[in-house]
């Protein structure tokens, strides 16, 4: 039946309402579908946008990584260059100073008047001060560049202090100060040479700023740590200065009229701070103006003592030697003209018979003279034609009929050189060389260690 056959208005209204409702539902469905379509289009655009952004971000990350790799390579090259520069600087800066100290010693022996002797002694003291300052600056540079790296081992404390006090006691006695030690027989986990340098700076600094009384070096056990303390009766440090003293170029006030007024650059404690940091130790200070100071280095105790170590080998304090060097044969391996000239003058004053070689070839030619066997060899490490003193000594030892004592006198204080000297069984003496120390060590070695 068609709609035209329906004559009931009510029924027609119902049918019409149902049709309208269906139409509205269909429209709603179409509207929803279109809305979903629009939403899908919008999401697709957002996804495409986010994908582009992510791609761009990844590209930027790749570019940043490439730049970081380039900067890292530049940094590594710079560090290698700095390391090479420091090695060259140590040698080139200290070589002229070494020549000057050797020459001034020869000049001292030639003086006849007391006034001339006093003037030469003053020049020698100035050279010593310059030497200490240069070494300190180079040490700071090496530590900052990461060139000096600690070699941790179990280190006994007493031998280090015995060696240090043999060097520093004359400095204390000259000022009329007592220098005492009260340490336990303990070991610490540290680098022996770096700890020794830190303690040397602390003790010499204590002596420097103490006018009367003395300096006490002691140890204190604190659980699994050892505190090494340097206690003085000096001028003390105001509380507001106690952190600043570990900064470069910060010096404590000297008493009016002090003999050392104006000397030094205030680098000793800066070196201590860097050394202690590199060793993972702790440094602290307690002080009262007018009463004195206590400096402490706290380090881990080493539970197992190390194998018996040889005593600290310091060329500055060899056992008393017999006789002199007159008539002794000395082979000098050195390529710096100023140092060669200074060594020739020094050895001539000592009455030595000597030959000089600038390279391995020169050294071998010097030994070709029939019957000329040196009593001692004094060698620099860096020679002509890229020859190394350690390698030259090794060659000479293979052709000499007997083992000849040798001193490797060099401004290269790297661990590699020190270890190589130890392996060869020769003494390592850092430049600038003090003539009195060189003569004492040379006489000691020639006499067979007597």
At residue 77, the pLDDT reads 72
For the chain, give every residue range classified as CATH 3.40.50.2300: 329-446
At residue 320, the pLDDT reads 38
Closest CA to 132 of 17, 268, 27, 226: 268
| CB-CB contact of 197 with 269 (8 Å) | no
| CB-CB contact of 201 with 268 (8 Å) | yes
At residue 208, the pLDDT reads 86
Superfamily of domain 329-446: Response regulator (3.40.50.2300)
The whole-model pTM stands at 0.53
Mean pLDDT by 10 residues, the chain (450 residues): 61 71 68 70 79 87 87 73 61 72 73 76 71 67 68 88 82 89 89 86 89 92 91 87 67 48 57 86 89 92 57 40 74 88 87 90 79 88 88 90 89 80 89 83 80
Correct CATH for 151-254+263-309 of 3.20.20.60, 3.30.565.10, 1.10.3720.10, 3.40.190.10: 3.30.565.10
At residue 219, the pLDDT reads 92
Residue ranges of alpha helices (H) inside 226-330 are: 268-278
For the chain, give every residue range classified as CATH 3.30.565.10: 151-254+263-309
Q: Round to whole Å and give the CA distance between 208 and 365.
A: 50
Residue ranges of alpha helices (H) inside 111-236 are: 114-145, 157-174, 192-208
At residue 59's C-alpha, the angle toward residues 54 and 64, to 5°, is 120
| CB-CB contact of 91 with 382 (8 Å) | yes
At residue 281, the pLDDT reads 92
| CB-CB contact of 249 with 266 (8 Å) | yes
Residue 6: Cβ-neighbour burial (10 angstroms; 0-12, 13-18, 19+): exposed
At residue 2, the pLDDT reads 59
Q: Round to whole Å and give the CA distance between 60 and 269.
A: 46
Closest CA to 435 of 121, 161, 220, 193: 121
At residue 367, the pLDDT reads 82
Q: Round to whole Å and give the CA distance between 220 and 222.
A: 6
155: Cβ contacts below 8 Å, ≥ 6 apart? 187, 188, 189, 190, 191, 192, 195, 302, 306
């Amino acid at each position: 039946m068609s709609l035209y056959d329906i004559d009931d208005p009510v029924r027609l209204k119902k049918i019409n309402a149902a049709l309208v409702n269906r139409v509205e539902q269909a429209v709603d469905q179409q509207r929803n579908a279109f809305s979903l379509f629009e939403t899908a289009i919008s999401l697709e655009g957002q996804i495409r946008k986010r994908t582009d952004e992510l791609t761009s971000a990844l590209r930027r990350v790749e570019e940043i990584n490439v730049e970081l790799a380039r900067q890292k390579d530049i940094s590594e090259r710079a560090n290698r260059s700095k390391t090479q520069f420091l090695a060259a600087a140590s040698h080139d800066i200290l070589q002229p100073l070494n020549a000057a100290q050797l020459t001034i010693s020869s000049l001292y022996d030639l003086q006849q008047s007391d006034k001339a002797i006093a003037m030469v002694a003053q020049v020698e003291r100035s050279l010593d001060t310059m030497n200490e300052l240069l070494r300190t600056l180079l040490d700071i540079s090496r530590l900052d560049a990461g060139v000096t790296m600690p070699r941790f081992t179990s280190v006994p404390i007493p031998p280090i202090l015995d060696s240090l006090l043999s060097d520093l006691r004359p400095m204390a006695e000259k000022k009329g100060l007592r220098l005492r030690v009260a340490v336990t027989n303990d070991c610490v986990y540290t680098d022996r040479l770096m700890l020794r340098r830190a303690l040397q700076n602390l003790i010499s600094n204590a002596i420097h700023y103490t006018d009367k009384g003395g300096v006490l070096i002691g140890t204190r056990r604190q659980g699994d740590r050892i505190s090494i303390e340097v206690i003085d009766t000096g001028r003390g440090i105001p509380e507001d200065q106690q952190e600043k003293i570990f900064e470069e170029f910060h010096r404590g006030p000297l008493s009016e009229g002090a003999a050392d007024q104006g000397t030094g650059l205030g680098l000793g404690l800066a070196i201590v701070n860097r050394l202690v940091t590199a060793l993972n130790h702790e440094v602290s200070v307690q002080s009262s103006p007018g009463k004195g100071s206590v400096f402490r280095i706290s380090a881990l105790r080493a539970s197992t003592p190390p194998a018996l170590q040889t005593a600290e080998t310091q060329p500055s304090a060899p056992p008393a030697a017999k006789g002199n060097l007159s008539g002794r044969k000395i082979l000098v391996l050195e390529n710096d003209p100023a140092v060669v000239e200074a060594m020739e003058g020094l050895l001539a004053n000592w009455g030595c018979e000597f030959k000089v070689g600038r390279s391995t070839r020169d050294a071998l030619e010097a030994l070709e003279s029939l019957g000329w066997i040196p009593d001692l060899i004094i060698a620099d490490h860096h020679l002509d034609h890229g020859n190394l003193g350690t390698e030259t000594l090794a060659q000479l030892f293979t052709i000499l009929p007997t083992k000849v004592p040798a001193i490797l006198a060099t401004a290269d204080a790297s661990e590699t050189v020190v270890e190589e000297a130890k392996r060869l069984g020769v003494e390592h003496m850092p430049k600038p060389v003090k003539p009195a120390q060189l003569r004492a060590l040379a006489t000691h070695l020639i006499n067979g260690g007597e």
